[in-house]
Amino acid sequence: MGGAIGSDENNTTPGCVVKPDATTADRANEIITDNVKLNTGQVYAARTVVAVGKGMNVRHRGIAIALAVAMQESSLNPLAVNGRSTGLFQQQGELYASVVKTDPVEASAAFYRVLVERVSNYDDTRRDFADVAQIVQRAGAGAEPYRRWEKWATTLEAVLYDGAPRQAPNAVECTPGVGGPGAVKVLRQGQTIELPREAGRPGANTLTFPNELTAKAAEAALSQLGVTYAWGGGNASGPTKGIRDGGEGDKHGDFNKVGFDCSGLMIYAFAQVAITLPHYSGAQLKAARTVTNWDDRVPGDLLFWGDPIHHVALYLGFINGTPLMVEAQKSGTTVHVTPVRVDGDFRRNAVGRMWG
């Protein structure tokens, strides 16, 4: 499976799905702690982890441990890549050489096989939850990062277990149009997009782009709504683990999160239409085919802030008289749609067009 956007009439990002009923999905979000709210794709990924565990007769605590590890390692994103580490559980090395690590079904099954092999009594509560996770993962950071997710994962597993059908590892249905990175459902017909409800702009919100290329790039960016900001994160395949910045990002722990920064989101969006961008907002302006000004903007253009440039966002067009953009703004936020900020250090004369 990949993150590329298809061309069917009502396409969305592809992926594997164990469809949740609406009630179960709502209950899952009601219990999220640590200021974390799962987006649609994360719920699908979590339910796949649970369904595969049930199919392999893994006991409740083992499934909760898997959820905690997947949340810590990838923010429940099956396509997360960080160097050689890939997928929900950031698996790597000879042990996982035959596993399609970006397939949440295969990745989950592989995790459970290692869990049972290395810690046969994983369900014994006398064994520390985080220590069991570390024995499976053998992560350089040790057991502590998994500890913060114990209560969260245990509660989420209890909510999802009865709602997720019992599935053998090869029985989770994979179809185009559901799941995938971010997995927000975005309806596109040619050059028009319906702004998804996750954008937080209620009402009829149709966006029209100058061509299908820009509509597909915007569709890709919007599919990531709700994905965590991580400084230095994001590439052509989707969210990646952030890096240290020696400042605000480090204070928010971005180096230990999987997500996008502002330019990483643009890299992903335009990679889906075979346009390669560098990972720095200033360099992205230099990579533009055309640089114009705010008065001549069209949907699909890139907007920039600062001198030197420090931020970039994708312009979406007007809804109800308000110019909107999609962005990964800063540490502590998620990918979101917001009105264009035309004050402060907004660069009115630096609107980048990546096509034409």
Of 16, 73, 311, 336, which is the active-site residue? 311
60 catalytic? Reply is no
- In the block, tokens 């239409």 appear at 273
Q: Does residue 133 contact residue 146 with C-beta atoms inside 8 Å?
A: yes
Q: Does residue 186 contact residue 196 with C-beta atoms inside 8 Å?
A: yes
Kindly list the distances between the CA atom of residue 221 and the CA atoms of 139, 179, 298, in Å, as whole numbers in the listed order.
31, 15, 16
CA distance linking residue 167 with residue 22, whole number of Å:
20
Q: b or e along 274-310 (b: 16 or more beta carbons within 10 Å of the residue's beta carbon)?
A: ebebebbbbebbebbeebeebeebbbbbbbbbeeebe
The conformation of residue 346, written as its DSSP 8-state character, comes to: B
Main-chain phi, psi angles of 310, to 5 degrees: -130, 0
Rg (CA), the chain: 20
Helix, coil or strand: residue 155: helix
**What secondary structure does DSSP assign to 184-233, as a single string?**
---EEETTEEEPPGGG---S--EEE-SSHHHHHHHHHHHTTTTPBB-TT-
Of 144, 262, 310, 336, which is the active-site residue? 262
252 catalytic? Reply is no
CA distance linking residue 98 with residue 111, whole number of Å:
13
Q: b or e along 121-135 (b: 16 or more beta carbons within 10 Å of the residue's beta carbon)?
A: ebbeeeeebbebbbb
262 catalytic? Reply is yes
**Residue 197 CB contacts under 8 Å (≥ 6 apart), including other chains:** none
Of 16, 219, 327, 336, which is the active-site residue? 327
87: amino acid identity, one letter: G
CA distance linking residue 174 with residue 68, whole number of Å:
23
Catalytic residues: 262, 311, 327
